[in-house]
């Protein structure tokens, strides 16, 4: 194993304590790894088999860096809501207390804000009793907020409460914050582990095959799209227009289009489109209505931003660019287009974003959250830090935070988008 090119995550030091799981029926994962690439197209570029790169497999370790009985754990949730947040909190709490018998688990409220003393957000102690049923509810019992805070103030709070392990549940901005906290901890020579559980309902974190909550979100769109279809069919030239999440990547919109075959147009950020002139969306929509008298359009929130005359550069507290409302723009443009031609059109607009984000996780996502939480605890107890736990090629692995690159996006020439085109029968190109 020593000769393999394994992307090992950072550790706090030598693991010397025996795991309390050693007497149970459990398999320890000590040094096992999985190949980063599994396609011959990528592997064929390598000169020899020794050039294959690997990620560490997640799982319990036989030796721990921390003595569990002396450990205080902190948990924080950041950014927007996502189905499964409470499931992850519960999984972390139960694994820490029941599997490892830690000293205590603290939940810090309102994201990184809760780790800064001046906001007076006192932590709550989490137990298997007060987290026992939280997975039955949406949202997060720890509240949330966006934006960064001063690293030293965060660390001072961790030291004040004697926190040995911090779990950060959040998206790429949250995990970049985790990376900076680790860097400052290193400078201050403080042995505190920081392990992330990646959260993005858009499913757009690079290297992560699937983020928790994504499957629930796609499932939730089914009834909404069906209702939009019903509305569209009930009126002459009816258009059911549904705006879904997806700032820079259209995974939810595209997956929803595949899950519900009623979708006729799927518009995503990765594939540009024009509104007017022969190849534009409005002309294509008009042809569809002449033929079928109804249409269902699904658009990701980040699609068509080039169509706005005011190209703002404003960002929110998380550093995300503030988007213009493509749903309302399309609604107005469709109405104006048909009005200018003295043609009837009936647009029904659906924007279910918060309804989807705030719901509880479905069964499969809930199971996934349990696995993520448990394996994050296994990693942290072994002294791993500056890393996230995520699914890659169907296996849970340890990923160094520094390896998280550009957002994962749909490849317009790839098989996934080609399947969407086949399902919707929309033109391959709606650009002039």
- Catalytic residue numbers, as ranges: 202
Question: If we measure between CA atoms, which residue out of 131, 127, 134 comes closest to residue 104?
Answer: 127
**Are the beta carbons of 87 and 126 closer than 8 angstroms?**
no
CA angle, 68 then 164 then 60, to 5° = 45
Instruction: Give, in order, the Cα–Cα distances in Å from 84 to each of 93, 139, 307.
Output: 14, 8, 34
Question: If we measure between CA atoms, which residue out of 278, 257, 276 comes closest to residue 330?
Answer: 276
Tokens of 341: 């031609």
Q: What values do phi and psi take at 273, rounded to 5?
A: -155, 150
**Are the beta carbons of 92 and 368 closer than 8 angstroms?**
no
Question: If we measure between CA atoms, which residue out of 107, 29, 25 comes closest to residue 381?
Answer: 29
Please state, in angstroms and rounded to a whole number, the distance separating the CA atoms of residues 97 and 108: 17
């Amino acid at each position: 194993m020593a000769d393999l090119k394994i992307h090992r995550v950072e550790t706090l030091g030598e693991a010397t304590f025996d795991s309390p799981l050693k007497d149970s029926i459990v398999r320890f994962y000590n040094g096992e790894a999985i190949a980063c690439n599994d396609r011959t197209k990528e592997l064929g570029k390598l000169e020899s088999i020794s050039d294959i790169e690997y990620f560490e497999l997640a799982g319990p370790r036989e030796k721990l860096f921390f003595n569990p009985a002396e450990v205080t754990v902190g948990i924080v949730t950041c950014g927007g809501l996502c189905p499964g947040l409470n499931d992850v909190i519960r999984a972390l709490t139960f694994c820490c207390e029941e599997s490892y018998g830690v000293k205590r688990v603290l939940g810090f409220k309102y994201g990184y804000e809760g780790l800064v003393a001046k906001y007076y957000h006192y932590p709550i102690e989490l137990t298997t009793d007060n987290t026992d049923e939280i997975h039955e509810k949406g949202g997060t019992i720890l509240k949330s907020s966006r934006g960064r805070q001063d690293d030293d103030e965060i660390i001072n709070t961790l030291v004040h409460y004697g926190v040995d392990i911090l779990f950060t549940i959040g998206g790429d901005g949250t995990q970049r914050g985790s990376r900076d906290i680790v860097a400052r901890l290193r400078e201050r020579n403080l042995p505190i582990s920081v392990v992330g559980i990646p959260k993005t309902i858009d499913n757009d974190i690079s290297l992560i095959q699937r983020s928790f909550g994504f499957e629930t979100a796609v499932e939730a769109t089914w009834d909404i799209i069906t209702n939009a279809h019903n509305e569209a069919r009930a009126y002459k030239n009816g258009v059911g227009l549904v705006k879904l999440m997806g700032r820079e990547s259209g995974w939810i919109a595209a997956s929803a289009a595949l899950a519900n075959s009623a979708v006729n147009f799927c518009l995503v950020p990765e594939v540009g489109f024009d509104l007017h002139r022969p190849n534009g969306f409005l002309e294509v929509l008009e042809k569809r209505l002449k033929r079928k008298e109804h249409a269902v359009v699904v658009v990701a929130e980040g699609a068509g931003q080039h169509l706005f005359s005011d190209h703002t550069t404003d960002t929110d507290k998380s550093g995300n660019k503030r988007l213009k409302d493509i749903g309302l723009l399309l609604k107005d443009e469709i109405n104006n287009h048909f009005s200018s031609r003295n043609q009837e059109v009936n647009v029904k607009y659906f924007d279910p974003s918060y309804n989807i984000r705030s719901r509880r996780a479905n069964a499969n996502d809930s199971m996934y959250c349990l696995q993520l939480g448990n394996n994050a605890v296994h990693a942290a107890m072994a002294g791993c830090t500056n890393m996230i736990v995520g699914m890659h090629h169907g296996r849970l692995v340890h990923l160094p935070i520094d390896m998280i690159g550009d957002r994962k996006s749909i490849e317009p020439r790839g098989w996934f988008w080609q399947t969407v085109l086949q399902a919707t029968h929309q033109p391959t190109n709606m650009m002039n």
